[in-house]
Amino acid sequence: MSVAGPDIRTAFASFFQKNGHLLLSSAPLVPHGDRSLLFTVAGMVPLKAYFLGQDTSPAGRLTSCQKCFRTEDLEQVGFTARHHTFFEMLGNFSIGDYYKDEAIAYAFSFLTRDLGLDPRRLAFTIHPDDEVARKAWKKVAAVGDDRIVPLSENFWEMGKGLPGPCGYDSELFWDTEKTCSCGRSNCQPGCDGDRWLEIWNLVFMEFDRTQDGTLLPLPRPSIDTGMGLERITAVVEGVGSNFDTSLLAPLVQGFASRSANPDADSAAWRVCADHVRGASFLVADGVLPGNEGRGYVLRRLIRRAALFARRAELTGGLAAGVGELASIMGEAYPELHERQAFIQGVIQTEEMAFAQTLDAGMSRLDQLLAQAGSGATLSGQDAFRLHDTYGLPVEVTVELARQQRVAVDMAGFQEELSRQQERSRSSARTQGNKVSEVPSATTTFVGYDQLEIDTQVISVLPDEVAGQGHFLVFLEESPFYAEAGGQVGDSGTLRWESGSALVLDTTYVADKVRAHHVKADSPPAPGTRVTASVDALRRAAIARHHSATHLLHKALREVLGESAVQRGSYVGPQHATFDFAFARALTESEIERVEETTNSAIRANYHRSVDLLPIGEARRKGAVALFGERYGETVRIVDFGGWAMELCGGTHVADSGNIGCVFILGEQGIGQGVRRISMVAGDAAVATFRGNHRRLREVASGLRVRVEEVPERVALMAARLRELEKATRTGDRGAQALLSRATIEEHGDVRLAVLDIPDADSELVGVLTDGLFSERMHGKGVALVLGKETLAIKVGPEEVSRGVSARVLVNAAAAAAGGKGGGRPEFGRGGFESGRRAGVPAAIRSVLAGEKVDA
């Protein structure tokens, strides 16, 4: 058959469009505004409100190919032909428009005509009480009663007991014509064996299951159908496993080809393929690995896959599959292309983090399993420690334990987990503050708009860390920002009728509990009305640095690509550092481009707006989330003119122009794949320029050049220094040997040293003259060195005072040997003709002997 996976997607859409259905694009995996579900688990999830009559559907007939995600059978994934976490569901929906007859007729027609499936290999299940459905199948499919199987379980709901629309359903089965594993030759759908494959579910929605479990009639009976794209593709492509379809096989093979372990279990590729697909789609829809809710599901998924990848010795890790996935599915789901680098970054980071703790965790688990022995149970405490200390998801522990026939006490694990959650709720969180008793009252933060307010003291505790005279003051309302998200806490003052105190810092000591670190002789008593004022200048400087990091983050991604995402930051009044994912050092020109892009955004004077949005919407708008940070359902988006949009709780400038400018001080690696940029903004940047400029002027004046000439002069000096060092090194090596060749003569009371090195260049002659004079003559007398057509003479101060002049000697020698010379009484240089070198010492000797001969 020629239809392949992606074509089935299109064939389905056009069949139902032809039949009057409006084609909807897939909604995100994270259901919007639906707190009853973690993920979109079926095609009808985004349409729930239409079925329930809470919202008006854009049309009575809808169709979609919806991305879905389920984790109920996570441990099965990879080991069976059809379990997935992520899958696509094809569906047609009637919102009070057509009902059973049409739904059945459409399904049969699409399968047998459009996909060309053999009608004789189809069978249908119905609810035993659903006479209408039975009649419809008989009419449409013209089949005998043996192909219409009544099953009492044919009632579909969102999940066991979950609220939402529900009703009888009818399932379509495909006869694989295998000898069924049940052993019977005439088994029917509903048999647990492997002959009958369920391919399509038609739900006849009649009821709304309410929160308390009652069934109420829906405003209008409706239709919800769902056909897993992977399954139908396997049928159409005639392959036994969904993993062998054109939708998944290239991904599976990609992983297989990167394995360095020939003995690896082939389930590993399927696990990696499924989980990387699932994880990528989750990340694309804004889920980030974390310790709770959706984030934890994602973390489990990546870590389970990483475990298999590790055993299979996969090169390139899991992230290597993301590109392949984008090429297989990116046309239907452009978010995979758009966020590819980001997805890769998230998966890689989680994989790396896991790898760090895994070794320790695994060997601990092996030990525990060996101790426990087959048939035993691992205690909840041990499982919790593996989870808490080693980051081993409990599901991974369960899976590995199961392979050794060891059970895990999950109830005990849950108990430990809730105990820890309780502990962390009530324990101090920051800076090791030992707060003996955390006040339960939370403080209302008003500091986004106000820097000074009148409020009341709730309670006061001694600050045990800072010691005598230091207190933690808790206020009803506060304009003080407490250290969070990299931004330092505010400082300022508290004033009240009978006193005042300095606020040195502000931190959270527990969730939403804000401590003002106060220094005071006697603190305000609980109940006192105080005026709380933030140091406004310091706050403004912090805001400039914080806003600058947002612009820098965007600039980094513009210059280096989308994978350069934030890993952390420090934002203070004097400077900021920004950590981001990047594999290598930045070049000078990249740093300049990042700085320039940031400064252009400052000059563009983007207005800063703040929006509180549901997280899904925020991500759809393109807001950047930070790794490892967890956000509640509603998030705060800080946006600079649509250019740089981030989820952030910090305080910012009103317009990007207020930052003034930024200046990157440096860039360095701070860990595997993580770089850090240090920068200064606003006043701090100006102070840095000013300081640098002053130092430059000092250098220029020291070198006696203009500021602009400093680089050239320094380069010259450096070159000269290098030459000298080279000469010294040469000198060091050979100098002693050369100097030892000198002869020393007495001419009256003047000692003359003569060194003749015929191939020495003038540079070496200079160096040797110095050496000869200081080392052999100890700074006295006359030192003469002859090189190749060049000579130099040095005369000691005593001899100079007695009238001996190097200039005179050089001139006499040069004249005698056909050259020229010059210099000062202490030192002179000259040249001579090579054939007349013997004339040089002779001339010197006669000058010294004949005494004062003026040249």
Question: Does 793 sit near ligand SER (CB under 6 A)?
Answer: no
In the complex, least distance from residue 126 CB atom to ligand SER, rounded to whole angstroms: 15
In the complex, least distance from residue 123 CB atom to ligand SER, rounded to whole angstroms: 17
Shorter beta-carbon distance to ligand SER: residue 204 or 578: 204
Question: Does 201 sit near ligand SER (CB under 6 A)?
Answer: yes
| Distance, CA of 379 to CA of 395 (rounded, Å) | 14
Here's the x/- map for ligand SER, 246-275, by CB under 6 A: it reads as ------------------------------
- Classify 25 as helix, strand or coil: coil
The window from 95-103, 121-129, 213-221, 222-230 that contacts ligand SER (CB under 6 A) reads 222-230
Nearest 10 degrees: Cα torsion 129, 131, 137, 142 = 130
In the complex, least distance from residue 107 CB atom to ligand SER, rounded to whole angstroms: 11
Window 337 to 366, contacts with ligand SER (CB under 6 A): none
In the complex, least distance from residue 225 CB atom to ligand SER, rounded to whole angstroms: 5
Here's the x/- map for ligand SER, 69-108, by CB under 6 A: it reads as ----------------------x-----------------
In the complex, least distance from residue 570 CB atom to ligand SER, rounded to whole angstroms: 48
Look at the block and give the residue holding tokens 């993301």: 322
Q: How many CA atoms are closer than 13 Å to the CA of 238, on its beta-carbon side?
A: 6
Shorter beta-carbon distance to ligand SER: residue 218 or 386: 218
- The answer to whether 490 and 480 have CB atoms below 8 angstroms apart is yes
| Distance, CA of 395 to CA of 710 (rounded, Å) | 65
In the complex, least distance from residue 558 CB atom to ligand SER, rounded to whole angstroms: 42
In the complex, least distance from residue 94 CB atom to ligand SER, rounded to whole angstroms: 12
Question: Does 651 sit near ligand SER (CB under 6 A)?
Answer: no
- The answer to whether 232 and 90 have CB atoms below 8 angstroms apart is yes
Shorter beta-carbon distance to ligand SER: residue 93 or 606: 93
Determine which residue in the list 226, 254, 289, 766 makes contact with ligand SER, applying CB under 6 A: 226
In the complex, least distance from residue 565 CB atom to ligand SER, rounded to whole angstroms: 35
Shorter beta-carbon distance to ligand SER: residue 91 or 317: 91
Window 30 to 59, contacts with ligand SER (CB under 6 A): 42-44
| Distance, CA of 452 to CA of 149 (rounded, Å) | 74
Using the Cα atoms of residue 35, residue 37, residue 39 and residue 45 in order, give the sign of their dihedral: negative
Question: Does 66 sit near ligand SER (CB under 6 A)?
Answer: no
Residue 525: how many CB atoms within 10 A of its CB?
11
The window from 220-228, 438-446, 579-587, 723-731 that contacts ligand SER (CB under 6 A) reads 220-228
Which is nearest to 200 in space by CA: 154, 164, 232, 155? 232
Determine which residue in the list 63, 225, 280, 348 makes contact with ligand SER, applying CB under 6 A: 225
| Contact partners, residue 294, CB within 8 Å, separation at least 6 | 30, 38, 39, 282, 287
Please state the φ and ψ torsions of residue 145, each to the nearest 5 degrees. Answer: -60, -25
How many residues sit in the footprint of ligand SER (CB under 6 A)?
Answer: 10
Chain-centroid distance of CA 543 in Å reads 23
Shorter beta-carbon distance to ligand SER: residue 70 or 829: 70
Shorter beta-carbon distance to ligand SER: residue 223 or 378: 223
| Distance, CA of 315 to CA of 253 (rounded, Å) | 14
In the complex, least distance from residue 159 CB atom to ligand SER, rounded to whole angstroms: 10
Using the Cα atoms of residue 112, residue 116, residue 118 and residue 121 in order, give the sign of their dihedral: negative
In the complex, least distance from residue 518 CB atom to ligand SER, rounded to whole angstroms: 58
Residue type, 212: D
Shorter beta-carbon distance to ligand SER: residue 107 or 252: 107
Which residues, listed in sequence order, are joined to residue 566 by a DSSP beta bridge? 580
In the complex, least distance from residue 226 CB atom to ligand SER, rounded to whole angstroms: 2
Window 1 to 20, contacts with ligand SER (CB under 6 A): none
In the complex, least distance from residue 643 CB atom to ligand SER, rounded to whole angstroms: 41
| Distance, CA of 374 to CA of 404 (rounded, Å) | 6
In the complex, least distance from residue 642 CB atom to ligand SER, rounded to whole angstroms: 38
| Contact partners, residue 181, CB within 8 Å, separation at least 6 | 193, 194, 195
Residue type, 235: V
Which is nearest to 815 in space by CA: 825, 830, 797? 830
Here's the x/- map for ligand SER, 128-157, by CB under 6 A: it reads as ----------------------------x-
Shorter beta-carbon distance to ligand SER: residue 225 or 246: 225
- The answer to whether 372 and 406 have CB atoms below 8 angstroms apart is yes
Shorter beta-carbon distance to ligand SER: residue 9 or 303: 9
Which is nearest to 361 in space by CA: 306, 319, 416, 323? 306
Q: Is 716 left (phi over 0), alpha (psi -120 to 50) or beta?
A: alpha
- CA dist 655 to 143, 480, 645, Å? 72, 21, 14
Using the Cα atoms of residue 147, residue 148, residue 150 and residue 155 in order, give the sign of their dihedral: positive
- Classify 335 as helix, strand or coil: helix
> Using CB atoms, what's the residue nearest to ligand SER?
226
Look at the block and give the residue holding tokens 């090189």: 787
Shorter beta-carbon distance to ligand SER: residue 41 or 264: 41
- The answer to whether 457 and 474 have CB atoms below 8 angstroms apart is yes
Shorter beta-carbon distance to ligand SER: residue 224 or 237: 224
Shorter beta-carbon distance to ligand SER: residue 46 or 819: 46
The window from 223-231, 248-256, 561-569, 832-840 that contacts ligand SER (CB under 6 A) reads 223-231
Shorter beta-carbon distance to ligand SER: residue 204 or 580: 204
Which is nearest to 285 in space by CA: 327, 342, 328? 342
| Distance, CA of 333 to CA of 780 (rounded, Å) | 90
Shorter beta-carbon distance to ligand SER: residue 29 or 765: 29
In the complex, least distance from residue 154 CB atom to ligand SER, rounded to whole angstroms: 11
In the complex, least distance from residue 355 CB atom to ligand SER, rounded to whole angstroms: 37
Determine which residue in the list 111, 136, 203, 287 makes contact with ligand SER, applying CB under 6 A: 203
| SS3 per residue for 252-263 | HHHHHHCECCCC
Shorter beta-carbon distance to ligand SER: residue 28 or 226: 226
In the complex, least distance from residue 181 CB atom to ligand SER, rounded to whole angstroms: 24
Burial of 487 (0-12, 13-18, 19+ CB in 10 A): buried
In the complex, least distance from residue 1 CB atom to ligand SER, rounded to whole angstroms: 24
790-795 and 827-831 strand pairing: antiparallel
Question: Does 224 sit near ligand SER (CB under 6 A)?
Answer: yes
Axis-axis angle for helices 131-141, 100-109 (nearest 10): 30
The pair of structure tokens assigned to 588 is 């000078």
Shorter beta-carbon distance to ligand SER: residue 84 or 608: 84
Where does this chain bind ligand SER (CB under 6 A)?
42-44, 91, 156, 201, 203, 224-226
